[in-house]
Structures are given as structure tokens and as C-alpha cells.
Amino acid sequence: MDISRLEKLLEFIKNEPDDPFLKYALATEYLRLNQPEKALEYYENLVNKHPDYTGTYYHLGKLYESLDRKQDAINTYETGMKKTREQRDNHAFSELQAVYRLASGEDEDDY
């Protein structure tokens, strides 16, 4: 019997319910399966319970944009830029800054 990726991830998270990587993987898998509401649940859990898991901010912001929640996306990008700056993750910061500028219409470098 072939067990789906989603089923495997759900089994793993039962054993490690606070693992941020598993939450991120589940959110990504739900997006792949075109279940944005479930993806949103996991991404929002990550930013609330694991705010230093910075990979989340870009994907959560993009999901908010796809759901026509532009201000939520902008706020998410702003928070992600602060977190990545604190962690000195220049690559992630620049990616977030680029999508933030597009979402907000900002042209100036305020950060």
C-alpha cells in the first residue's frame, strides 16, 4: 500500500506536534493539494508559535495575497523582514523586501 506524503506527514506530527519543520511541510503539502485553508492554519500556527522560523513569512504572505488579504500579506512581510534582519539572514530579508515592495507599492528603501 502506497502511503501518501500527506498521510506520512500527519503521522509524523502526531509524534512531534511542535516540530516547526513538520508544520511547514504540512502547510506546503496542503497548498500543493489545493487546500489553502489548511495551509493557512499551519502557516499561522508557525508565525504564532515559532516566530523565528523565518521561511514561513514569505509563503504565508503569498498565501494571504492569493486570498485577497493584501494588508495581512503586507503585515506578514514586515514582520518577516524584522525577524530576518534580527537573524542577519540577508537573503531571506531581500526576498521579503521585494515582495513587500510589490504588495505595498513602495519604491523607497526604508529598511
Query: Would 4 be classed as within a structural domain?
Result: no
* Count: domains in the chain: 1
In this structure, is residue 52 part of a structural domain?
Answer: yes
Helix (H, G, I), strand (E, B) or coil at 58: helix
The answer to the question of residue 13 being in a domain is: no
Q: Cα–Cα distance between 52 and 29 in angstroms, integer?
A: 21
Q: Is there a domain that residue 86 lies in?
A: yes
Is 23 part of any domain? yes
Closest CA to 102 of 54, 60, 80, 70: 70
CA 111 and chain centroid, separation: 21
Q: Is 6 a domain residue?
A: no
Mean pLDDT of 72-95: 97
CATH number of the domain residue 35 falls in: 1.25.40.10
Of 109 and 88, more confident: 88
Q: What's the CA dihedral at 53, 54, 59, 62 to 10 degrees?
A: 140
Q: Which of 53, 79, 63 is nearest to 28 (CA)?
A: 63
Domain of residue 42 covers 18-103
* Local confidence band at 1 (pLDDT 50, 70, 90 cut-offs): very low
CB-count burial class (<10 Å; 0-12, 13-18, 19+) for 44: middle
Decide if 93 is inside a domain: yes
Contacts of 3 (CB under 8 A, 6+ apart): none
pLDDT at 111: 47
Q: What is the pLDDT of residues 48-74, one digit of tens each?
A: 999 999 999 999 999 999 999 999 999
- Could you tell me if residue 43 is inside a domain? yes
Q: What is the spatial distance between Cα 19 and Cα 45, in angstroms, rounded to a whole number?
A: 11
